[in-house]
Amino acid sequence: MDIKELKKNLFQQKKNAYQLMSDEDIAKCNQFCEGYKSFLNQAKTEREAVKFAIKTAEKFGYVPFVKGMSLKSGDKVYYNNRDKAIIFAVIGKEDISRGVKICASHIDSPRLDLKQNPLYEDNEIALFKTHYYGGIKKYQWTTIPLSLHGVIVKRDGSKVEVNIGEDESDPVFCVTDLLIHLATDQMQKNLSKAIEGEKLNILIGSQPLKSEEGSDLVKLNIMKLLNEKYGIVEDDFMSAEIEAVPAFKAKDIGFDRSMIGSYGHDDRVCAYPSMMACMDTNTPNKTSIVILTDKEETGSDGNTGLCSSYLKYFIYDLAGCFGVDGRTVLSNSECLSADVNAGFDPTYPDVADKKNFAFLNYGVVVTKFTGSRGKSGTSDASAEFVGKVHNLLRDNDVIFQTGELGKVDAGGGGTVAMYIANLDVDTIDVGVPVLCMHAPFEVVAKTDVYMAYKAFYVFMND
Ligand code: MN
Ligand code: MN
């Protein structure tokens, strides 16, 4: 008996993507990642991602969806949900009643949001109060350069956009931390207590207006500058959404440039590949739908998150254009919930069950279930659908692996998969492994990003 041959035939064979890809494919992968980095730098918030997506889609011939419009195969439409989430659809050749192919990713990322009354002065230093958004390790958000992005709705109803800290010539902002010399007490605290939410105040100024008397002259100077630039008064902050995000740009990591470090990989690293896969799809068999959603990081609630009915309404309205019942479409549909999973970090091996963890450069991760505490909070895809997706990837030379978010009792997390599965859609998580997820600077491997693009493309064009 040839033991070597038997092992090859019977055991699982895993290989690093760089051992499997041709030089030509690696070149294509690197080129794709240049586009991805540019997206990362231009779309740091959900609003900026939607804006980027619309601009891109219009170049590819997409037009706004209108309820009741007449549609035929090959037509491309998009639905903009309040400038914070977007859906694309390419009409397929098959009757829509046979179902659609959905890829759903999210474009919101953990960050610091300004409170509704953010501005104050303390000992002639001006600061903004914040309330963090999503799951963060608070200490990671101190002493890094931050930029401010968002919108302010003024008393007259007009809206101004804010984007400051991204241009090389712009000032940036930051959250301070206590100097080590005086941190004896702080250093005794555990990581979740060492920096508390109320201490995530952003430094924004220190120059008082010249005056013989009066208090709050630094704050007044800041308000004067903001009034000159944006025409706002302090009350206008109450109707603003301003997000503080890391001001640094996406960069290649490593001497070999094989990885990308950036803010917001979770989940732009699935949003960009799924959007580009949709852009590159022309007249698929089944109608393809790509969703870039908001509010995933806070539990998907709200009218721009996937717990709301906006996806269902869109599919009902799309089905209506063909005189088809919306629920028939949903029940026959399939979805890749395109979100990240944890990548194995050699510095922190203890949280991983290595047999069931995702590794960098081993391809896109297919995750049958997420959740925590005994598979709570997950849709858990059926073996039949898992097998179908695996075979589709195998048949099209898409490098993939399976992964589970850490050891059974180490923690856990969820995605939008269950909200779409709850609409009676076959759904599974497919995404990119990430190191230091939810940190201001997250890391992914380029080959995994490219395999995500290929996976979404073959799914939409199946
Ligand atoms: Mn995510
Ligand atoms: Mn996340």
Instruction: Say how many Å lie between the CA of residue 94 and the centre of ligand 1.
Output: 32
Instruction: Say how many Å lie between the CA of residue 320 and the centre of ligand 1.
Output: 31
Instruction: Say how many Å lie between the CA of residue 321 and the centre of ligand 2.
Output: 35
Instruction: Say how many Å lie between the CA of residue 106 and the centre of ligand 1.
Output: 7
Instruction: Say how many Å lie between the CA of residue 346 and the centre of ligand 2.
Output: 21
* Cα–Cα distance for residue pair 33/452, rounded to 1 Å: 11
Q: If residue 112 lies in a helix (H) or strand (E), which one and from where to where?
A: strand 111-122
Q: Are 127 and 204 in contact (CB under 8 A)?
A: yes
3 state DSSP class of 287: strand
Angle, helix 446-460 to helix 383-395, in steps of 10 degrees: 110
Helices (H), 256-323: 265-279, 310-321
Q: Which ligand gives the minimal distance to the CA of 293? A: 1
Q: Which ligand gives the minimal distance to the CA of 436? A: 2
Q: Are 40 and 262 in contact (CB under 8 A)?
A: yes
Q: Are 45 and 243 in contact (CB under 8 A)?
A: yes
Instruction: Say how many Å lie between the CA of residue 296 and the centre of ligand 1.
Output: 7
Instruction: Say how many Å lie between the CA of residue 175 and the centre of ligand 1.
Output: 25
How far is C-alpha 65 from the geometric centre of its chain's CA atoms?
24
Q: What is the pLDDT along the chain (462 residues), one digit of tens a residue?
A: 899 999 999 999 899 999 999 999 999 999 999 999 999 999 999 999 999 999 999 999 999 999 999 999 999 999 999 999 999 999 999 999 999 999 999 999 999 999 999 999 999 999 999 999 999 999 999 999 999 999 999 999 999 999 999 999 999 999 999 999 999 999 999 999 999 999 999 999 999 999 988 899 999 999 999 999 999 999 999 999 999 999 999 999 999 999 999 999 999 999 999 999 999 999 999 999 999 999 999 999 999 999 999 999 999 999 999 999 999 999 999 999 999 999 999 999 999 999 999 999 999 999 999 988 888 888 999 999 999 999 999 999 999 999 998 889 888 888 999 999 999 999 999 999 999 999 999 999 999 999 999 999 999 999
Strand spans (E) along 18-64:
63-64
Q: Which ligand gives the minimal distance to the CA of 107? A: 1
* pTM, 2 dp: 0.97
* Cα–Cα distance for residue pair 406/363, rounded to 1 Å: 18
Instruction: Say how many Å lie between the CA of residue 323 and the centre of ligand 1.
Output: 35
Instruction: Say how many Å lie between the CA of residue 438 and the centre of ligand 2.
Output: 6
Instruction: Say how many Å lie between the CA of residue 294 and the centre of ligand 2.
Output: 11
Q: Which ligand gives the minimal distance to the CA of 341? A: 1
Kindly write down the DSSP assignment for every residue of 159-173, as one continuous string: EEEEEES-STTS--B
Instruction: Say how many Å lie between the CA of residue 219 and the centre of ligand 1.
Output: 37
